[in-house]
Amino acid sequence: MKIKLIILLSSICIISFAQKAKKSDYEFPAEMKPHVQEAYLIECEKGKILYGINCAKCHSTFEKKREIIPSFTAEQFEAYKIRIANTQHEQNMTEEQLAPDELGMIITFLTYRKKK
């Protein structure tokens, strides 16, 4: 019961945060319909949070207090999806720590975020 309440509250927070997020933070294809963009916006915001928790400490760098998120290639995304990027990565990001759907959210965030 307590876990369900935590999940519900977390979901509400993420959705409200995503609604406040600017679409300008992301680059969606012009042909993507507005209601689809809204769904992707929520997915991107969840992925952003998961990236910060699970990935940023190893992948991001900071310059003048500004986070620099690297650009990943499609090949790198595929390697992460099947978790064979390298041995150290496999040890740091096990399926118990990051579920496949969570990894998908992170990849969605990294794919559509505006490159600065």
Q: What is the pLDDT of residues 45-95, one digit of tens each?
A: 999 999 998 888 888 888 888 888 888 888 888 877 766 556 666 666 666
Average pLDDT, the chain: 79
State the pTM of this model: 0.71
- Nearest-angstrom CA–CA distance, 13 and 35: 20
Q: Which amino acid is at 47?
A: G
Query: How does 42-64 read in b/e, with b if 16+ C-beta sit within 10 Å?
Result: bbbbbbbbbbeebbeeeeeeeee
When mean pLDDT is compared over 6-10, 17-21, 77-81, the highest value belongs to: 77-81
Cα angle 50, 51, 57; round to 5? 125
The single residue listed with the structure tokens 């406040």 is 20
- Calculate mean pLDDT across residues 23-38: 90
Tokens 């310059």: give the residue: 63
